[in-house]
Structure 1
Amino acid sequence: MLQGLSQRQTQTMSGQMLHSLTILGMSSEELSDYLAERAQANPCVAYRPPAAFTRARSEDFDAVAAIASDRPSLLAHVAEQIELAFPQTADRLIALRFAEALEPTGWLGQPVDTIAMLANVPEARALRILDRLQSFEPAGLFARNLAECLTLQAREADLLTWEVETLLANLDLVAKNRLKELADLCDCETSDIPDIMAQLKGLNPKPGLAFDHTPAPVLPPDLIATKGPDGWTVELNRATSATITVQEDRLADGTASTEARAARRRALAEARSLAQALERRGDTLLRTAAVLVARQAHFLDRGPAYLAPLTLEDVAAELGLHASTISRAVSGRMIQTPTRALPLRAFFARAVGSSHDNDGVSRDSALQFVRRAVEREDPENPLSDGAIVDLAERSGLRIARRTVTKYRLSLGLGSSYDRRRQALARKR
C-alpha cells in the first residue's frame, strides 16, 4: 500500500515538474497564448495579457507582415530532428552550431573548421556530427556545395551509381561542356552523358527553400538589466509577463452536484498548479539572469573582449539546478541593457587556456586578442601566427598555433605573407 502511494506521489511530482519545465521553455508570446487558452477552459483561471503585446497588437502591429506561413521555418524543422537524433547534450550543442550556419538554401554557410572552432571541438568530431546531420529529411540539407547536396539526394533516392557519383564530383566539366573528358572519367560514351544527367532532374539543388524564412517578429525583452552605485541588477520586464489570478470563489456554490463539485476541485487544483509553475518560471528566469549579469559584469561594462568563460553547467551548479533547466531558461530570451538588447546566450563562452590562472579566458577574448594583435602590427613586418602565439603567452594567454590560425581565418585575416604583400601594394 505504501509502495503504491509512493509511486503515485512520484508520478504526480514528475508531472508537475514536466509542466513547470514546459512553461519555462515557452517564449513570452507562447506563454501568453497558452494562458489565454487555459483561462477559456478553466473557470478558476482569470487571465491578464501582457501590456507590451496588447500595445503591439493594437498600435504597431503590421497585420500583413504577421500573416503566419503554413510552412515551418528551416531552423525549427532541423532543431526538432536534432532533439531526436542527439540525446547527448554536448553533441546536440554542436549540431545546433551547424543549424545556425544554415543558409536559406539548406546548405552550410560556414566551413566545418570554423563551426568546430566556434563549438570548441576538434574538426574530426564536428565532421562526425555533420555526417549524422546530412541524414536528415529532406535529403540534401547541410550540404557544403551543390555536388554534395545532389549526392545526398541521389543516395537517398537510390540513384547513386558509380557513373552518377563521378558526374556529380565533376560538375565543373558539365558547366564547361567538356563532355568527352567527363565521359572518359565515367568510362562511358559521350552520348551516354545526357542519360546520366537525366537521372538528376528530379533532385532539388536548394532543399531549404521549401521552408519558411520569414523572420520572427521582434518582441520586447523578457528581462531588464540596470547599473547603479552598487553594481548591476536585474528585474523581470513586467510589460511582457502575462499573469493569472486563481479565482477560488467559483467553488462557493453549495447546491451543485457531487460531480460538478469534483470538476470544480480539479479546476481549482489545475489553476493553483499553473500559478505555481508561473511563479517558478519567473523565479528561475530572474535567478539565472542575475548570475549571468554578476559573472559577466566586465562584459557589460567593456564589451566582448572582457567576456569571461561561463557555461550552462557553471550557472546550473551555482543555482543548484540541472543544466537542461538553464538551457530552457535562456533559450530565445533577451535582456535589455542601458545600451542595447542582448540574447542571454551571449553571456556564455567556452574557455581557452591561460598560463596565469585555472579559469582561462573566453574564446571571444582570444579572438579579440588575435584581432587586436594584427591591427597593431607593423604592416610592413606583420606578425606570423607563431609570433602571435608568443605575444599571447607574454600576455598570460596560452593558445596553440593552429588555434591562432583558425581564429585569424574566422576573422577574415590573411597570412602574414598576404598582409605584407597587401601593405606593400598599398604603399605603391
Structure 2
Amino acid sequence: MALGPRLDLRQSQSLVMTPQLQQAIKLLQLSNMELDTFIDQELERNPLLEREDSDRADTPDAPEPEQAAPTSEPEPMLDGQTQGAAEDSMDVDYDNLYNNDSASDQPDSEAFGQWSASGGRHDFDDGDTNFDQMMAESISLRDHLVAQLNMDIADPADRLIGLHLIEMLDETGYLSGDIAEIAGKLDCPVETVEGVLKRVQRFDPAGIFARSLKECLALQLIEKNRLDPAMAALLDNLEMLARRDMAGLIKVCGIDSEDLAEMIGEIKALDPKPALRFDHVVTHTVVPDVLMRRTPDGAWLVELNSDTLPRVLVNSRYYAKVSGHSLSREEKTYLSERYQSANWLVKSLHQRATTILKVATELVRQQDAFFRLGVQHLKPLVLRDIAGAISMHESTVSRVTSNKYIATPRGIYELKYFFTQAIGSADGGDAHSAESVRHRIKSLIDAEGKDVLSDDRLVEILKGEGIDIARRTVAKYREGMNIPSSVQRRREKALGG
C-alpha cells in the first residue's frame, strides 16, 4: 500500500463560542445588582453606550438614542405567554467554557459618604451627634486592645509581648498560636509570656485571648465573680452538657436540678466568640430580581424588578455624527466595533429579560400550590421539568436561577429554593417535596408534648400521611435542622419540668 499526501473533503459540525455569545451567557447568570456593575464597566469602555436617566426628557439638547434595553418585558401571566416576541433562546450547555466570576467589587466609600453627607464639616455644638458612639462603632478589635495595652502595661518588653499576642488572635478572639513561638521569637522565658497573657486576658471584651471554649467561658465567669467549684466542674464537663446528660452533670457538680438549670442559663448568657462584636461585617440586603403579585382575578403576575435593572441606550445620533468626519482606518474600525458591541449588549439584555421572565413564570405556575397554601404543598421539581415546559436547555434554566431572588407574598426566596428532591408516596399517589417533608417533621416535633417522638415514631406518622420515607432520612432531615435526638429532647423536657 503506497503512502502519500492526498486531499479529502469532509463536512462536520462544531460549536464556536464567539465573544458576543460568551457575553450573552455571562449576562444571563448575573443578578440585577451584578448586572448593574457590569453595565458601569461597559459604559466606561464604550462611548456609544449611555444609561437612560429619568430626567432625560427634561433635557432639550439630549441626543435621542435609537435602541434601548427594556427594564422588563410585558408582564406575563401564568400561561407563559408574553406580548413581545422572544429572541432566539441561549439554550446551549457551556458550563465548562465559562467561569462564574463577576466584577462586583466596589471601592469602599462609606467613610467619604458620611463626611460628604455633613457637608465636609462637623458641628461640635450639635448635641444630637454621639461621637463616642460613632468612634465605638468604627474602632477595630486590634485598636481597642492596643489602647488597653498602652494604658495597663508600662514595661516596654511586656508591651511588645502583648502586641505579639494581639497579632495571634483569630477572628473570634481566640489565641491561635502557641505562646512558645512568641518566647522563641523574642528570646524570653515562656513564663514571662504566660504572665503577660494572664494580664491581657483581663482586657475588654471578657473572654478575649482564650485558648479554648472552656477558658473563654471561665474568663467571663471570673469577670462576673461566678466561677465557683460547681461552675468549674460544669466547665470541665462541657461535652456532657452538649449531650444533655443532665443526670451525669448533677452528679459530677454535686448540685440539684434547679441549681443546674440556673447554671446552664448563665452559661448560655455568655459570649463564646467575644471578638465578633468588633469586626463588623456589612450585611447586604437581598434585592429581588423578580416580583410577583396577585391580580384582582386571583392570577399571579410576574415581572422583573425595574428598580434594579439598568436601562442602556445606543447613541446612534452620536455614531452618525462621528462617522461623518474624516477618520483614519483604525478609527473607523474602532468605531464600528464599539457600535456593534453596543447593539449586541442591548439585544443580550433584552434576551436576558425574556429568558428570566419565562423561567420565573413557569416556576410560579408549577409551584402555585405553595404560594396559595404553604410550604407543605411545595411540589418536587428539577431543572428538567422547567426546561421541558419552556423548550429550553437545562443549563439555561440553571444559569437563570443562579443568584436570582423572587419577591412573593410569602417572602423573598432564591429561585433555586423551588427545586427540591421528590419523596415517594406510600399509597402510590403524587410524590412529596423534600422541603415539605422537612417542614412536616419540624411541625410534628414542635407540637410534641410530654411524649417525645422518636425517629421511628415519626416514620410511622409520615407513612400514615402517605409519605414513604426511611428512618435514616428522617434522622438526616432532623439533624440538618439542628433538632436534637429524642433522647436529648426528653432530657431537656425533664430538666425544664
TM-score by length of 2: 0.48
The answer to whether the 8 Å contact 2:380/2:422 transfers is yes
Q: Which residue of 2 aligns with 1:290?
A: 361
Name the SS for the 1:238 alignment partner. Answer: coil
Q: Which residue of 1 aligns with 2:316?
A: 248
The partner residue of 1:352 within 416, 423, 433 is 423
* Equivalent-residue separation in structure 2 for 1:369 and 1:325 (angstroms): 32
Q: How does 1:14-413 map to 2 (within 5 A)?
A: 14-48=18-52, 63-64=110-111, 214-215=281-282, 217-218=284-285, 220-228=287-295, 229-249=297-317, 250-252=319-321, 253-257=323-327, 259=329, 260-357=331-428, 360-377=431-448, 379-413=449-483
Letter in 1 for 2:28: L
Q: Which residue of 2 aligns with 1:100?
A: none
The answer to whether the 8 Å contact 2:46/2:342 transfers is yes
The answer to whether the 8 Å contact 1:225/1:337 transfers is yes
Q: Deviations over 1:371-416 (max 9, x none)?
A: 2233444x34333322221221121101101111222333444444
Structure 1 gaps of 5+ residues are 52-60, 68-145, 151-170, 176-205
Q: Deviations over 1:245-282 (max 9, x none)?
A: 12223135434336243333222211111111111111
The answer to whether the 8 Å contact 1:299/1:306 transfers is yes
Q: 4+ residue runs of structure 1 moved beyond 6 angstroms? A: 3-7
Per-residue deviation, 1:425: 5.1
Name the SS for the 2:453 alignment partner. Answer: coil
Query: Cα distance 1:42–1:384, how it changes in 2: closer, same or farther (>3 A)?
Result: closer
Q: Between 396-405 and 262-271, report the one with greater CA deviation.
A: 262-271
Q: Deviations over 1:158-207 (max 9, x none)?
A: xxxxxxxxxxxxx99xx9xxxxxxxxxxxxxxxxxxxxxxxxxxxxxx9x
The answer to whether the 8 Å contact 2:371/2:409 transfers is no
Query: Cα distance 1:37–1:318, how it changes in 2: closer, same or farther (>3 A)?
Result: same
Q: Between 391-400 and 251-260, report the one with greater CA deviation.
A: 251-260
The percentage of aligned residue pairs carrying the same residue is 29
* Equivalent-residue separation in structure 1 for 2:327 and 2:471 (angstroms): 78
Query: Cα distance 1:264–1:324, how it changes in 2: closer, same or farther (>3 A)?
Result: same
Q: Deviations over 1:225-255 (max 9, x none)?
A: 1012242121011111111112223135434
Q: Which has the higher contact order (CA 8 A, sep 6+)?
A: 2
Per-residue deviation, 1:306: 2.4
Query: Cα distance 1:318–1:214, how it changes in 2: closer, same or farther (>3 A)?
Result: farther
The structure with more helix, counted as a fraction of residues? 1
Letter in 2 for 1:27: S
The answer to whether the 8 Å contact 1:50/1:240 transfers is no
Name the SS for the 1:346 alignment partner. Answer: helix
Query: Cα distance 1:325–1:258, how it changes in 2: closer, same or farther (>3 A)?
Result: same
Letter in 2 for 1:232: W
What CA RMSD, in Å, does the superposition of the two structures yield over aligned residues? 4.2
Q: Deviations over 1:333-373 (max 9, x none)?
A: 22222353322232222222222457521221111222223
* Equivalent-residue separation in structure 1 for 2:435 and 2:470 (angstroms): 15
Q: Between 396-405 and 41-50, report the one with greater CA deviation.
A: 41-50
* Equivalent-residue separation in structure 2 for 1:217 and 1:424 (angstroms): 42
Name the SS for the 2:307 alignment partner. Answer: helix
The answer to whether the 8 Å contact 2:48/2:342 transfers is yes
TM-score by length of 1: 0.55
* Equivalent-residue separation in structure 2 for 1:363 and 1:50 (angstroms): 46
Q: Deviations over 1:26-64 (max 9, x none)?
A: 23233223223323332322223699xxxxxxxxx9823
Structure 2 gaps of 5+ residues are 1-8, 56-107, 115-174, 179-210, 216-272
* Equivalent-residue separation in structure 2 for 1:415 and 1:355 (angstroms): 25
* Equivalent-residue separation in structure 1 for 2:406 and 2:112 (angstroms): 25
* Equivalent-residue separation in structure 2 for 1:268 and 1:5 (angstroms): 34
Letter in 2 for 1:64: A
